[in-house]
């Protein structure tokens, strides 16, 4: 499927989020606000996950630190990500990106029947695979997407 579909779903989710308040929208990233149903127990601040989902390796990835990590760490990065409720590394950037990524990946995989996974290979051999829609912590959050889907 053309990648523009992914981009349009992701960006359209931001619009729905702003209008419906799925995530809080703040001027100050360090502001402490009442969590929404989507952010509760996942995000402490706009761009800081709650303690159970903070990992020293994940904190060094591009969307958390702004700096790249060695590709040799990819298997470990995705192993750590699989222990979180985030559907992608980009989802860890901020709660609004988390919402957009979760809706987009859910829609692509369940409604459009497109595969979504990250495969890390070495010498053409699969070393690790990350499939967010098979992650129980990610799947547990799908009920929070009611604003996007009729029951």
The HSE-up count of residue 51 (CA atoms within 13 Å, CB side) is: 0
Residue pLDDT, tens place only, 7-39: 999 999 999 999 999 999 887 778 889 999 999
Residue 56 makes CB contacts below 8 A (sequence gap 6+) with none
On the question of pLDDT at 88 being above 80, the answer is yes
- Reported as a pLDDT band with limits 50, 70 and 90, residue 142 is very high
Please tell me the predicted confidence (pLDDT) of residue 32: 86
Per-residue pLDDT reduced to its tens digit, 40-64: 999 999 999 999 999 999 999 999 9
CA–CA separation, 60 and 43 (whole Å): 18
């Amino acid at each position: 499927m053309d990648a523009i579909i992914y981009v349009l779903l992701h960006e359209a989710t931001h619009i729905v989020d702003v209008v419906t308040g799925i995530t809080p929208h703040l001027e100050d990233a360090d502001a402490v606000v009442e969590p929404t149903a989507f952010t509760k127990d996942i995000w402490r601040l706009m761009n800081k996950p709650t303690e159970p989902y903070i990992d020293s390796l994940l904190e060094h990835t591009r969307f958390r630190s702004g700096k790249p990590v060695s590709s040799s760490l990819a298997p470990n990065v995705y192993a750590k990500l699989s222990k979180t409720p985030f559907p992608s590394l980009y989802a860890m950037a901020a709660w609004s990106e988390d919402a957009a990524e979760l809706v987009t990946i859910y829609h692509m995989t369940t409604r459009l029947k497109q595969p979504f996974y990250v495969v890390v290979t070495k010498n053409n051999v699969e070393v690790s695979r990350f499939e967010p829609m098979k992650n129980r912590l990610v799947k547990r959050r799908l009920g929070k997407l009611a604003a996007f889907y009729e029951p």
